[in-house]
Protein backbone atom coordinates (compact mmCIF):
# COMPACT_ATOMS: atom_id res chain seq x y z
CA UNK A 1 0.00 0.00 0.00
CA UNK A 2 1.52 3.33 -1.02
CA UNK A 3 1.00 6.41 1.13
CA UNK A 4 0.79 9.91 -0.29
CA UNK A 5 1.93 12.69 2.03
CA UNK A 6 -0.83 14.86 0.63
CA UNK A 7 -3.36 12.57 2.28
CA UNK A 8 -1.36 11.62 5.35
CA UNK A 9 -3.16 13.78 7.88
CA UNK A 10 -6.74 13.04 6.80
CA UNK A 11 -8.37 10.62 9.21
CA UNK A 12 -11.65 8.82 8.55
CA UNK A 13 -13.25 6.78 11.37
CA UNK A 14 -14.29 3.92 9.07
CA UNK A 15 -10.69 3.54 7.87
CA UNK A 16 -8.90 4.15 11.18
CA UNK A 17 -8.10 1.90 14.14
CA UNK A 18 -6.94 2.88 17.63
CA UNK A 19 -3.97 0.90 18.99
CA UNK A 20 -3.47 1.00 22.78
CA UNK A 21 -0.01 -0.30 23.62
CA UNK A 22 0.88 -1.94 26.95
CA UNK A 23 -0.68 0.41 29.52
CA UNK A 24 -0.04 -1.90 32.46
CA UNK A 25 -0.19 -1.65 36.23
CA UNK A 26 3.48 -2.54 36.64
CA UNK A 27 4.43 0.69 34.84
CA UNK A 28 2.50 3.01 37.14
CA UNK A 29 5.48 3.98 39.26
CA UNK A 30 8.05 3.99 36.48
CA UNK A 31 6.64 5.77 33.44
CA UNK A 32 6.73 9.57 33.41
CA UNK A 33 3.25 11.13 33.67
CA UNK A 34 1.71 7.65 33.74
CA UNK A 35 -1.61 8.62 35.36
CA UNK A 36 -2.04 11.48 32.91
CA UNK A 37 -1.14 9.25 29.95
CA UNK A 38 -3.79 6.75 31.05
CA UNK A 39 -6.35 9.53 31.40
CA UNK A 40 -5.70 10.72 27.85
CA UNK A 41 -5.72 7.17 26.49
CA UNK A 42 -9.13 6.64 28.10
CA UNK A 43 -10.36 9.74 26.30
CA UNK A 44 -9.13 8.30 23.01
CA UNK A 45 -10.87 4.99 23.70
CA UNK A 46 -14.12 6.78 24.49
CA UNK A 47 -13.82 8.85 21.32
CA UNK A 48 -13.05 5.82 19.18
CA UNK A 49 -16.05 4.05 20.67
CA UNK A 50 -18.32 7.01 19.89
CA UNK A 51 -17.10 6.92 16.28
CA UNK A 52 -17.47 3.12 16.00
CA UNK A 53 -13.77 2.65 15.32
CA UNK A 54 -11.89 -0.58 15.84
CA UNK A 55 -9.89 -0.58 19.09
CA UNK A 56 -7.00 -3.01 19.61
CA UNK A 57 -5.00 -3.29 22.84
CA UNK A 58 -1.98 -5.31 23.90
CA UNK A 59 -0.31 -6.34 27.13
CA UNK A 60 3.41 -7.15 27.25
CA UNK A 61 4.11 -10.31 29.28
CA UNK A 62 0.83 -9.85 31.21
CA UNK A 63 0.63 -11.49 34.65
CA UNK A 64 -0.70 -10.51 38.06
CA UNK A 65 1.71 -7.58 38.28
CA UNK A 66 1.39 -6.54 34.65
CA UNK A 67 -2.37 -6.34 34.25
CA UNK A 68 -3.74 -3.60 32.02
CA UNK A 69 -4.80 -0.64 34.15
CA UNK A 70 -8.45 -0.84 35.17
CA UNK A 71 -9.10 2.83 34.36
CA UNK A 72 -9.19 2.02 30.66
CA UNK A 73 -12.27 -0.21 31.15
CA UNK A 74 -11.42 -2.28 28.08
CA UNK A 75 -14.14 -4.85 28.79
CA UNK A 76 -16.77 -2.10 28.90
CA UNK A 77 -15.82 -1.16 25.33
CA UNK A 78 -15.64 -4.75 24.13
CA UNK A 79 -11.86 -4.68 23.69
CA UNK A 80 -10.12 -8.03 24.07
CA UNK A 81 -6.53 -7.73 25.30
CA UNK A 82 -3.94 -9.39 23.06
CA UNK A 83 -0.96 -10.79 24.96
CA UNK A 84 2.52 -10.54 23.44
CA UNK A 85 6.22 -10.92 24.16
CA UNK A 86 7.41 -9.11 21.02
CA UNK A 87 7.91 -5.36 21.51
CA UNK A 88 5.78 -4.47 18.49
CA UNK A 89 2.00 -4.69 18.59
CA UNK A 90 2.15 -6.16 15.09
CA UNK A 91 1.86 -9.78 16.20
CA UNK A 92 -0.14 -12.37 14.21
CA UNK A 93 -3.30 -12.11 16.33
CA UNK A 94 -3.45 -8.33 15.88
CA UNK A 95 -3.02 -8.85 12.14
CA UNK A 96 -5.91 -11.31 12.15
CA UNK A 97 -8.16 -8.94 14.09
CA UNK A 98 -7.35 -5.76 12.17
CA UNK A 99 -10.13 -4.99 9.72
CA UNK A 100 -9.11 -4.96 6.04
CA UNK A 101 -10.76 -1.54 5.62
CA UNK A 102 -8.25 0.08 8.00
CA UNK A 103 -5.73 2.37 6.30
CA UNK A 104 -4.70 4.56 9.25
CA UNK A 105 -3.72 3.78 12.83
CA UNK A 106 -3.80 6.10 15.83
CA UNK A 107 -1.46 4.75 18.49
CA UNK A 108 -0.78 5.54 22.15
CA UNK A 109 0.80 3.80 25.13
CA UNK A 110 4.17 2.77 26.54
CA UNK A 111 7.04 2.72 26.22
CA UNK A 112 7.54 5.29 23.50
CA UNK A 113 11.09 4.18 22.64
CA UNK A 114 10.39 0.45 22.76
CA UNK A 115 6.98 -1.10 22.10
CA UNK A 116 5.36 2.00 20.60
CA UNK A 117 8.33 2.78 18.35
CA UNK A 118 8.61 -0.79 17.09
CA UNK A 119 4.85 -0.88 16.44
CA UNK A 120 5.00 2.37 14.50
CA UNK A 121 7.91 1.20 12.35
CA UNK A 122 6.17 -2.09 11.58
CA UNK A 123 2.90 -0.35 10.71
CA UNK A 124 4.65 2.14 8.44
CA UNK A 125 6.53 -0.62 6.67
CA UNK A 126 3.19 -2.36 6.08
CA UNK A 127 1.82 0.76 4.38
CA UNK A 128 -0.41 2.16 7.12
CA UNK A 129 -0.64 5.85 7.88
CA UNK A 130 0.32 6.22 11.54
CA UNK A 131 -0.60 9.01 13.95
CA UNK A 132 1.22 8.94 17.30
CA UNK A 133 -0.68 10.64 20.12
CA UNK A 134 2.17 12.29 22.01
CA UNK A 135 0.12 13.31 25.06
CA UNK A 136 -0.90 9.66 25.52
CA UNK A 137 2.53 8.10 24.95
CA UNK A 138 5.47 8.07 27.35
CA UNK A 139 8.61 6.33 28.62
CA UNK A 140 10.53 6.07 31.88
CA UNK A 141 12.94 8.78 30.78
CA UNK A 142 12.31 12.04 28.94
CA UNK A 143 15.21 11.66 26.46
CA UNK A 144 13.99 8.23 25.34
CA UNK A 145 10.46 9.59 24.93
CA UNK A 146 11.34 12.71 23.00
CA UNK A 147 13.98 11.21 20.71
CA UNK A 148 11.73 8.28 19.87
CA UNK A 149 9.08 10.82 18.83
CA UNK A 150 11.66 12.35 16.51
CA UNK A 151 12.57 8.94 15.11
CA UNK A 152 8.91 8.09 14.50
CA UNK A 153 8.31 11.38 12.72
CA UNK A 154 11.42 10.97 10.55
CA UNK A 155 10.20 7.49 9.62
CA UNK A 156 6.93 8.96 8.34
CA UNK A 157 4.53 9.00 11.28
CA UNK A 158 2.43 12.03 12.20
CA UNK A 159 2.87 13.38 15.73
CA UNK A 160 -0.45 14.59 17.08
CA UNK A 161 -2.38 15.23 20.29
CA UNK A 162 -5.52 13.56 21.56
CA UNK A 163 -7.74 16.54 20.87
CA UNK A 164 -6.22 17.12 17.43
CA UNK A 165 -6.79 13.48 16.49
CA UNK A 166 -10.38 13.36 17.75
CA UNK A 167 -11.36 16.60 16.03
CA UNK A 168 -9.58 15.47 12.88
CA UNK A 169 -11.66 12.30 12.85
CA UNK A 170 -14.94 14.22 12.71
CA UNK A 171 -13.63 17.04 10.51
CA UNK A 172 -16.67 19.31 10.81
CA UNK A 173 -19.24 20.59 13.29
CA UNK A 174 -21.86 19.07 10.99
CA UNK A 175 -20.69 15.57 11.90
CA UNK A 176 -23.47 13.59 13.64
CA UNK A 177 -21.11 12.78 16.54
CA UNK A 178 -19.77 16.32 16.91
CA UNK A 179 -21.57 17.12 20.17
CA UNK A 180 -20.36 13.91 21.82
CA UNK A 181 -16.76 14.52 20.76
CA UNK A 182 -16.94 18.18 21.79
CA UNK A 183 -18.14 17.12 25.23
CA UNK A 184 -15.24 14.69 25.46
CA UNK A 185 -12.60 17.35 24.70
CA UNK A 186 -14.32 20.23 26.50
CA UNK A 187 -11.86 19.94 29.37
CA UNK A 188 -8.24 20.30 28.32
CA UNK A 189 -6.11 17.16 28.47
CA UNK A 190 -3.78 16.99 31.49
CA UNK A 191 -0.16 18.12 31.27
CA UNK A 192 2.05 15.23 30.18
CA UNK A 193 5.37 17.06 30.03
CA UNK A 194 5.32 17.98 26.36
CA UNK A 195 6.40 21.57 27.05
CA UNK A 196 9.82 20.13 27.86
CA UNK A 197 9.99 18.55 24.42
CA UNK A 198 12.26 20.01 21.75
CA UNK A 199 11.39 18.16 18.55
**Which residues are catalytic, by number?**
22, 84, 115
DSSP annotation of 52: T
- Give the strand order in the sheet containing 158-160: 81-84, 54-60, 16-21, 104-110, 129-138, 158-160
- The closest alpha carbon to 108, from 156, 62, 161, belongs to 161
Max CA distance (Å), the chain: 45
Report strand pairing: 81-84 vs 16-21.
unpaired
- Count CB-CB contacts under 10 A for residue 189: 18
Question: Cα-flanking dihedrals φ and ψ of residue 127, to 5°?
Answer: 95, 5
Question: Cα-flanking dihedrals φ and ψ of residue 166, to 5°?
Answer: -65, -45
Amino acid sequence: MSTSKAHLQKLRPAETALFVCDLQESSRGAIQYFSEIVQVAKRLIEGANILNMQILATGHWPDQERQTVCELELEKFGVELVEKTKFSMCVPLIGEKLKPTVKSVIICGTEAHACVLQSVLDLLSSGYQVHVVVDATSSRGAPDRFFSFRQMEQAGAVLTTSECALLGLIGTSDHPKFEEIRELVKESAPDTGLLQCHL
